Amino acid sequence: MTTETVLPIDREAVISRSKQNNEPEWLSELRLEALQAATRLELPKLEKTAIRRWKLDAYGSYRQEEKLTSLDSLPQQALDLLTASEADTNLLVQRNAEVVYDKLAEDLKAKGVVFTSLSAAVRDHEQLVREYLFKAIGKDEHRLTALHAAYWSGGVFLYVPRNVQVEVPLQGLFIADEEGTTCAPHILIVAEDNSSVTYVDNTVSGPGVKELVHSRAVEVFVKPGAKVTFASVHHLNKGIVDISIRRAVVENDGSIDWIIGEMNDGNGLSDTTSILKGNGSKSNTRAVCIGMGEQQLDLTTRAVHIGKHSDSNMVTRAVMQDQATAIINGITKIEHGATHANGEQTERVLMLSPQARGDANPMLLIDEDEVTAGHAASVGQVDENQIYYMMSRGISREMAERLIIYGFLEPIVKSIPLKEVSEQLQKLVERKLER
């Protein structure tokens, strides 16, 4: 049953953009192959989310943005999200389709660290980019990855050479604030042997954007002994569908920490995977999510164990209000041969209204005997006795509910290793709950 799908992206536009950006031949070809594949590929199969009913055709068109020399012209709402004290360095800003600002501290440059837009890196660091781009995420896994591969623009290339420890977090800021314009950043991070780096990004939208598919792909390559912390918080408008696919490939004794904050107001597909390829590789995933209105969310955290003694821990907590729906999947896959692997996962959903829906689906898929694995999942309502207890001390119902929600998210927020991110997440949770 193959039907030619009408794509939201035009072939001529892909060709002309690739040309305009002076992209190497192989990349132009990759884009066109992906676009071709998109016509025959299906949407990803989501067990319980009717993604085909989502508005998935508003990819927008490419528009050039003016480069910025200072951050002053950016919306205050976006600037508030920058956390570091010297907010204008070690920062990259993408506005709609293009990176408009990027600045890396001189000392890091001197050490060989690269932190630049991916669209520039395909020319300036061509060999490196070519070696890794679309190697963790296949360009033709399903229609959404294919469309992303064909149409991504801007993005981040972060490269940390062997033995280099980047002590300060590098920040990304993504702003979608023009109706009808593409926002599809691709983030590629390569941490060489025994290096370490922390990357934090925020994604916001302007009030003018009524309809858009924000398409994001993140590929992280963690080489032997390297350590990468990746924190990402999305808070996009109601009309924006967020498709975010993140994947790390972790080699011997490497580790990845994922911190994911899903604070969007629109529908979202979020899929975060660690492929623990190396022996002794580790991953730690923490995700928080707040759903409201009629939002539909499909959140997956996944760990694939290939290496021996590999270790994964995944924790997701979601708060659902109004008529929001969340499908929370946790998948621990242990391949044959991954002896002494250990995989733990927990999914918890707190529902604040009788119309809200939350499904927690823990899955352990284990093809090896000598392993340990565990899961815990719960879906529950706010306990009226708790509300009564707090109210009997003079606290209003509203405040009591809020304390319970914060309390519910606290164990994750507290465990975030970056103080700035944890504080900011707290603020965003407040903002979203206060509306």
Partner 1 sequence: MSQSPTLVIRGLKASVEGKEILKGIDLEVKGGEVHAIMGPNGTGKSTLASAIMGHPKYEVTAGEVTLDGENILEMEVDERARAGLFLCMQYPSEITGVTNADFLRSAINARLGEGNEISLIKFIRKMEEKMKELEMNPEFAHRYLNEGFSGGEKKRNEILQMSMLEPKIAILDEVDSGLDIDALKIVAEGVNRMRGPERGFLIITHYQRLLNYIKPDFVHVMMQGRIVKSGGPELAERLEAEGYDWIKEELGIEDVTVGNDEEEFKVPMNTIAPESLMKK
Cα–Cα distances (Å) from 306 to 250, 279, 281, 343, in that order, read 10, 8, 9, 12
DSSP strand E in 85-169: where? 91-95, 98-103, 114-116, 156-160
> What type of residue is 259?
I
Q: Which stretch binds partner 1 (CB under 8 A): 12-20, 114-122, 369-377, 408-416?
A: 408-416
Q: At CA 214, angle to CA 210 and CA 217, rounded to 5?
A: 175
Contact 114, 129 (CB under 8 A): no
Q: Which is nearer to partner 1, 34 or 360 (CB)?
A: 360
Quote the least distance from Cβ 299 to partner 1, whole Å: 20
Residue 127 binds partner 1 (CB under 8 A): no
Q: Which is nearer to partner 1, 22 or 415 (CB)?
A: 415
Quote the least distance from Cβ 92 to partner 1, whole Å: 34
DSSP at 288: E
Quote the least distance from Cβ 433 to partner 1, whole Å: 14
**Binding residue for partner 1 (CB under 8 A) from 408, 422, 428, 429?**
408
At 90, is the secondary structure helix, strand, or coil? Answer: coil
**Binding residue for partner 1 (CB under 8 A) from 2, 394, 419, 435?**
394
Quote the least distance from Cβ 288 to partner 1, whole Å: 12
Q: Which is nearer to partner 1, 26 or 388 (CB)?
A: 388
Cα–Cα distances (Å) from 56 to 212, 244, 328, in that order, read 8, 13, 21
Handedness of CA 8, 10, 15, 18 (dihedral sign): negative
Q: Which stretch binds partner 1 (CB under 8 A): 132-140, 158-166, 256-264, 377-385?
A: 377-385
Residue 411 binds partner 1 (CB under 8 A): yes
The gap from C-alpha 410 to its chain's centroid, in whole angstroms, comes to 21
Residue 392 binds partner 1 (CB under 8 A): yes
Quote the least distance from Cβ 406 to partner 1, whole Å: 6
Main-chain dihedrals φ then ψ at residue 126, nearest 5 degrees = -55, -45
Contact 230, 199 (CB under 8 A): yes
Quote the least distance from Cβ 385 to partner 1, whole Å: 5
Residue 382 binds partner 1 (CB under 8 A): no
Site of interaction with partner 1 (CB under 8 A): 383-386, 388-397, 399-400, 403-404, 406-411
